[in-house]
Structure 1
Amino acid sequence: MDSRFEERLTSVGFTTLTPIQEAVAKPLAEGQSIDALAPTGTGKTLAFTWPLLPEIVPNDGEQLLILAPSQELAMQTTRVVRDWANILSLKVLSLTGGANVKHQLDRLKKHPEILVGTPGRVSELIGNGKLKLKRLRTVILDEADELLRDDTANQIDQIWDTIADEDVQVALFGATEVDKTKASGLFERDFLRIDQRHVEIPTAIKHEFWPTARDQRQKRLRQLATQKHFQAMVFFNTTKQLKITASFLAHEHVAMATLVRGDSSTTRAKSLDNFRKGTAKFLLTTDVAARGLDIPDLPAVINFDLPRDGETYTHRAGRTGRMGKAGLVISFGNDHDQRDLKKLVAVDIKTVTGVKTIVSHKTKALTSSADKAHKGSKTKNTVSDKARKVVNDTKNNDEPTQNTQSKKTVKKAVNTQPTVSRQDRLAKEKHAKRKHRKNKGKPKH
């Protein structure tokens, strides 16, 4: 590792590299083409950043191209790489769809050494003759399994056709395997496989299944929103269900954000920013939109819809518990869903019943703190009022032994009130109306 990087790492107290960071350092620095596999959340971006950046020549044009499957992942990678590139006086430019292309073209004229982009925008710029990669030395495919699928694979093919240089290093990174035949055929080379997926890494991710009827899943989210310091990325299989749930949570005044492919880059960036700052309890998203995202210290991931395969479950779970930190994966579903989930993944999944009790034992403190924090805000107080209602309902349903005496007392108090018949009540209302008509128009004293 470059001594300037080591100095910075030492200054922030970083002492140990992850297995993937150690394994790829030498091959990348030596220019080998590799196929690197490691679990999500193990620092793959830094794994290729640290060895490659010191090999780049400042002010010598575009030398490193990093491709990512989504705008968000490309921007996230840009931030990480730029942080270290600044130490070496290297320029980094992001080329993503949805962003201002004129601004990107103006920046390209300065010939940044490092480009980070999405295949669509990069292939567009190459096709229009605005981007030339004659000095390119390395191509990185981040989340390679996603990039080498369907239409995106065709865009990668178009980009590579303009390069097609056997001396250009190609590195594939991801948590799941790519088709070796497809990768070797496209880039016309063999890749050195570096597989660190089965290396033991300290982890504290808990996996739980919460039996929940489909029409109750939105209410589960509303309950979880009352928990203090709780945030979660919520995954959906369809955009339609995501938007229905977003409407429900908005009606219930639950602070949340959505990340949907098709939204403008500004909207998506704002959603991520609100979630990272903690102003949104939930980030509602789909698998494609959230691929590879890194939310530091994210407490939980929620599978509103169960993933369709084990690979997808792995990528969703990788959003929490990153770099060995604690995390929680919650899956909603019925008995049939539970059986399917056990077939999909090999992890130990605990079935949690009486979920309301789990939610309610923290809610009292949350409600009081929410009232103090948002005093005078009608919207926020509405959330707190609903939270209190959920807690009260929960306690009445889930703690019958403790509340029996109080229930009897309430019932006795109600029975001591005088009973008013329907006939008497109607007569009283009729008398009040007559009195009102009689006094109508008279001056008040």
Structure 2
Amino acid sequence: MDSRFEERLTSVGFTTLTPIQEAVAEPLAEGKSIDALAPTGTGKTLAFTWPLLPELVPDDGEQLLILAPSQELAMQTTRVVRDWANVLSLKVLSLTGGANVKHQLDRLKKHPEILVGTPGRVSELIGNGKLKLKRLRTLILDEADELLRDDTANQIDQIWDAIDDEDVQVALFGATEVDTTIASGLFERDFLRIDQRHVEIPTAIKHEFWPTARDQRQKRLRQLATQKHFQAMVFFNTTKQLKITASFLAHEHVAMATLVRGDSSTTRAKSLTNFRKGTAKFLLTTDVAARGLDIPDLPAVINFDLPRDGETYTHRAGRTGRMGKAGLVISFGNDHDLRDLKKMVAVEIKTVSGVKTIVSQKATPVAKTDKTYQQKKHSGNQQRVATQKTGVRVEDKDNTQSKKTVKKATSSQPNVSRQDRLAKEKHAKRKHRKNKGKPKSKH
């Protein structure tokens, strides 16, 4: 590793590399083409950032191209890579669909050394003659199995046709195995396989199944929204169901954001920002966000709809419990769904009945200096304890005592029959009518 990187790592207290970071460092630095596999949340972006950036030459044009399957992942990768590129005085440019293309073209004229983009926008710029890649030294495919499928694979093919240089290093990264025949045929080379998926790493992700009828799943989310310091990404199989649920939660005044393919890049970026800041309780999305997105310390992932296969479950679950931290995956469904889920994934799944209290890792203690708040909190705790023991809130108990006092004061009067009371009221009304209009006597 470059000594400048080591100095920065030491300053932030980073001491241990993950298995994938250690395994790919030397082959990448030597210019080898690799097919690297590792579980989600194990630092794959930094795994290719640290070895490759020191090999680039400042002010020598576009030398490294990183492709990602979504705008969100491309922007996230841009932020991570730029942090380290600044140390070496290298420029990074993001080329994603939905963003202002004119601004991107203006930045391209400065010939940044590192490009991070989505296949659609990159192939568009190449097709229009706006992007030349003759100086390229390395091509990275992040989430390669996703990029080498269907229409995206055709865009990758167009990009590679513009490069067409056997000396260009190609590195495939992901958590799911790539079809080697497709990769070898497209890039006309053999790849060094580096598989770290079965290397033991510390993890604290719990997997739970919550039996829930389909018409009760929205209410489950509403109940979970009342829990403090709790956030979750909620995954759906269809955009239609996502939007129905979003409307329900909005009506229930639950703070949430949506991340849907087809929305503008500005809208999607705003949703992610709100969720990362904690102003949104839930981030509702389809599997567009199941790939590579990093939400630091995300407490939980919820499968509103069960994924269609184990691979998708793995990628969804990878949004929580990243880098060995605690995480929780909750899946909704019926008995049939539970059987399918157990066949789908080889993890221990606990069945949970009812909505339990979830203690989040993000909970923070109250500052000791805030005495007023502490007193209020202590008072509130006493009220909650009293409620749990008696079933009556303190304020309700006070009201009950007041009512008892009034009743006691009333009961201290002599007992009067209903007939006598009505006669007395009738007499008082007759006397009032008789004296109406007469001047009051002076004493």
TM bucket (normalised to shorter chain) is 0.7 to 0.9
Once residues 317 and 264 of structure 2 are traced to their aligned partners in structure 1, the CA distance between those partners, rounded to angstroms, is 26
- Residues 337-357 of structure 1, C-alpha deviations (whole Å, 9 max, x = no match): 0000000000000001132x5
Q: For the residues of structure 2 that align with 1:77 and 1:288, how far apart are their CA atoms?
A: 16
The aligned counterpart of 1:54 is 54
CA distances 1:316-365 after superposition (whole Å, capped 9, x unpaired): 0000000000000000000010000000000000001132x546x99xx9
Matched residue SS, 1:288:
helix
2:218–2:245: 8 Å Cα contact kept in structure 1? yes
1:411-426 → structure 2 map (5 Å cutoff): none
5+ residue gaps, structure 2: 365-383, 408-443
- Secondary structure of 2:171's partner? strand
Measure the CA separation in 2 of the matches of 1:278 and 1:82: 24
1:111 matched residue in structure 2: 111
CA distance in 1, matches of 2:308, 2:15: 38
Q: Which residue of 2 aligns with 1:295?
A: 295
Q: Distance in 1 between matches of 2:320 and 2:241?
A: 23
Cα-to-partner distance string for 1:125-182 (whole Å, 9 max, x where unaligned):
0000000000000000000000000000000000001111110000000000010000
Counterpart of 1:222 in structure 2: which amino acid?
R
Q: Secondary structure of the residue that 2:158 maps to in structure 1?
A: helix
Which runs of structure 2 are paired with 1:306-345 in the superposition (5 Å)? 306-345=306-345
Whole-Å Cα distance in 2 between the matches of residues 404 and 175 of structure 1?
A: 51
Offset of residue 404 of structure 1: 8.6
Deviates more, 1:346-355 or 1:181-190: 346-355
Amino acid paired to 1:246: A
Equivalent residue of 1:49, what SS? helix
Question: 1: CA distance between counterparts of 2:112 and 2:392?
Answer: 73
The offset of 1:291, in angstroms, is 1.8
Give the aligned partner of residue 432 of structure 2: none
Q: Supply the distance in 2 between the matched residues of 1:405 and 1:45 (Cα, whole angstroms).
A: 55
CA distance in 1, matches of 2:184, 2:36: 14
Shift of 1:21: 0.1
Please tell me whether the aligned partners of residues 237 and 287 of structure 1 are also in contact (alpha carbons under 8 angstroms). yes
Question: Residues 224-263 of structure 1 correspond to what in structure 2 (within 5 A)?
Answer: 224-263=224-263
| Residue number in structure 1 paired with 2:423 | none
Contact 1:67 1:119 in 2 (8 A): yes
Residues 129 and 351 from structure 1, CA distance in 2 versus in 1: closer, same or farther, beyond 3 angstroms?
Answer: same
TM-score (norm 2): 0.82
Q: What is aligned with 2:197? A: 197
Counterpart residue identity of residue 139, structure 2: V
User: SS state of the match for residue 266, structure 1?
Assistant: helix
The aligned amino acid for 1:315 is H
For each residue in 1:261-281, what CA deviation from the matched residue of structure 2 results, as whole angstroms up to 9, or x when unmatched?
000000000000000000000
Q: Which residue of 2 aligns with 1:380?
A: none
Q: Is the 8 A contact 1:261 1:289 kept in 2?
A: no
Measure the CA separation in 1 of the matches of 2:391 and 2:44: 56
Q: 1:405 to 1:98 in 2, by over 3 A?
A: closer
Q: Distance in 2 between matches of 1:49 and 1:329?
A: 29
Kindly indicate whether the alpha-carbon contact (under 8 Å) linking 2:37 and 2:174 is maintained by their aligned counterparts in 1: yes
| Range with greater deviation from structure 2 (282-291 or 210-219) | 282-291
> Which residue pairs with 1:100 in the alignment?
100
Q: State the partner residue of 2:74.
A: 74
Q: TM-score, normalised by structure 1?
A: 0.81
Amino acid corresponding to residue 340 of structure 1 in structure 2: D
Q: What CA deviation, in whole Å up to 9, does each residue of 1:364-414 have, x standing for no partner?
A: x99xxxxxxxxxxxxxxxxxxxxxxxxx9xxx9xx9xx77999xx99xx9x
Secondary structure of residue in 2 paired with 1:253? coil
How far residue 122 of structure 1 moved from its aligned partner, in angstroms, is: 0.1
Letter in 2 for 1:256: M
1: distance between equivalents of 2:105 and 2:96? 12
Paired AA for residue 112 in structure 1? P
Unaligned runs of at least 5 residues, structure 1: 367-391, 418-445
User: Equivalent residue for 2:2?
Assistant: 2
Please state how far the C-alpha of 1:288 moved relative to its aligned partner. Answer: 2.0
Separation (CA, whole Å) in 2 of partners of 1:213 and 1:232: 20
Distance 1:331 1:403, change over 3 A: farther
| Residue in structure 1 matched with residue 431 of structure 2 by the alignment | none
The corresponding residue for 2:206 is 206
Give 1:263-278 correspondences, 5 Å limit. Answer: 263-278=263-278
Task: Indicate whether 1:135 and 2:138 are aligned.
Answer: no
- Counterpart in the other structure of 1:44: 44
Residue 279 of structure 1 corresponds to which residue in structure 2? 279
Q: 1:353 to 1:139 in 2, by over 3 A?
A: same
**Structure 2 match to 1:354:** 354
**C-alpha contact (below 8 Å) 2:290/2:312 kept by paired residues:** no
| Corresponding residue of 1:441 | none
Distance 1:358 1:26, change over 3 A: same
> Residue type matched to 1:312 in 2?
T
Give, in whole Å, the separation in 2 of the partners of 1:297 and 1:346.
Answer: 24
CA contact (8 A) 2:257 2:280 kept: yes
Structure-1 separation of matches of 2:390 and 2:153: 61
**Rounded Cα–Cα distance in structure 2 between residues aligned with 1:50 and 1:294:** 18
**Cα distance change, pair 83–229 in 1 and its aligned pair in 2 (3 A):** same
* Contact in 1 for aligned 2:290/2:315 (Cα 8 Å): no
Letter in 2 for 1:322: R
Percent of residue pairs bearing the same amino acid type: 91
1:167 aligns with 2:167: yes
**Aligned residue in 2 for 1:31:** 31
Q: Tell me what 2:184 maps to.
A: 184
The answer to whether the 8 Å contact 1:259/1:290 transfers is no
The one-letter amino acid of 1:220's match is R
The answer on whether the counterparts of 2:287 and 2:316 sit within 8 Å (CA) in structure 1 is yes
In structure 1, distance between residues paired with 2:284 and 2:190: 39
Secondary structure in structure 2 of the residue aligned to 1:306: coil
SS at match of 2:294: coil
* Superimposed CA distance per residue, residues 23-50 of structure 1 (whole angstroms, 9 cap, x where no aligned partner): 0000000000000000000000000000
